[in-house]
Amino acid sequence: EADIYQTPRYLVIGTGKKITLECSQTMGHDKMYWYQQDPGMELHLIHYSYGVNSTEKGDLSSESTVSRIRTEHFPLTLESARPSHTSQYLCASSGQGAYGYTFGSGTRLTVV
């Protein structure tokens, strides 16, 4: 039973559209993360948050933005989607004293 939820699972959208990928967790975790996963499977951290009103950019530069207004919610927004944004996006969370992360099922985004 998943405790971290991502919607939508699949999204095909036209170039220039604004999109928001949703991520919610019910575990009360303070830390949340967004990863971009390329076709070669490697994971790239693009954003993270250590709590409400805290957001930081990750190792991989991304044109997306995030917000953390509530502990349980960490949406990712692309203001103007481009084909280069086509990828799988994975959300994860971790809590105080927890070992490792809990991942959502991912959103596979295709920009045409």
Partner 1 sequence: GNSVTQMEGPVTLSEEAFLTINCTYTATGYPSLFWYVQYPGEGLQLLLKATKADDKGSNKGFEATYRKETTSFHLEKGSVQVSDSAVYFCALTLMGRGSARQLTFGSGTQLTVLP
What is the binding site for partner 1 (CB under 8 A)?
6, 31, 33, 40-43, 45, 48, 50, 90, 92, 94, 99-106, 108
Q: Find the shortest distance in angstroms from Cβ 97 to partner 1.
A: 10
Instruction: Look at residues 21, 13, 28, 83 and name the one whose alpha carbon lies nearest to residue 46.
Output: 21
Checking phi first, is residue 41 left (phi over 0); if not, alpha (psi -120 to 50) or beta?
left
Report the alpha-carbon distance of residue 55 to residue 85 in Å, rounded. Answer: 21
Name the residue nearer to partner 1 (CB basis): 14 or 40: 40
Name the residue nearer to partner 1 (CB basis): 40 or 83: 40
